[in-house]
Amino acid sequence: MSEIKSCLQILLIILLSTAFGCNSSGDKQGTVEKKSSVQTNNNYNTYFPLKDGNKWIYVSDGPTNEIEMFTVEASGVKKVEDGIQLKVSSFPYFTKESKERTLIIKHNGEIIASDIFGSSGTVFPAPENFKEGFEWKFGILNGFITSDTSNVETWTRNFENCIKLNMTDGFTFAFEMWFKKDVGIVKWGANRTNPPVLKGVYYILKDYRLN
């Protein structure tokens, strides 16, 4: 009888060990799945953190009393072969349109846009190139980083040491943007240079939400 009792105890220990082993394996699998989900929402450009749900609201500050407002909100972030793909509710920095667009952020942080003045390619450079003197081309536009020490006063606060980016076709249009690392675009303007405007209209960050 004692031998039977000992055998039953050994069998019970084996069964309990097997059960705990299965639970441990399940926990590890859950951790891997969660990590994969986080990676999908990774952002590769700290100067324009286009994570799911991040939002920027801009209000015009110009020579007229007419007030314009644009909201840029990122959504639908997903992995693609080149990096991540997402949608923004608008991308007004060039055309002042409240039109949804699809962007791709490459693994190196370059932000790719399509069909802006008929051009597609790198609209904003990789984070490592956000430094004074860097140049690149986006279709008919030439891009330049003209300052990395600009201070920008917005509706709610001041941002120091912003990166100023200029893009132009050399004749008709001039685009200016000020980027603050880990915040995004805090001020921008899209103005004509031919014929020139007496005073350009600029759009200042009114509010923003970062996840």
What's the DSSP call for residue 127?
G
Q: 56, 71 in Cβ contact below 8 A?
A: yes
Residue 166 tokens read as 């200029």
Residue 145 lies in a domain: yes
Phi, psi of 88 (to 5 degrees): -120, 140
Determine the average pLDDT of the residues in 112-129. Answer: 95
pTM of the model: 0.78
First to last CA, the chain: 65
Indicate if 162 and 115 belong to the same structural domain.
yes
Average the pLDDT over 139-154 and give the result: 96
Inform me whether the pLDDT recorded for 142 exceeds 80. Answer: yes
Q: Is residue 163 part of a domain?
A: yes
190, 95: one domain:
yes
Clarify whether residues 87 and 4 are in a common domain.
no
Strand order in the sheet with 101-106: 119-124, 111-116, 101-106, 83-88, 69-80, 55-61, 202-209, 184-192, 173-180, 158-168, 141-153, 135-138
pLDDT tens digits along 151-205:
999 988 999 999 999 999 988 889 999 999 999 999 999 998 888 777 889 999 9
pLDDT at 152: 97
Q: How many CB atoms lie within 10 A of CB 57?
A: 16
Residue 27 and residue 59 share a domain: no
Domain that residue 134 falls in: 55-209
| CB-CB contact of 177 with 48 (8 Å) | no
Among 3-7, 77-81, 142-146, which is the least confidently predicted range? 3-7
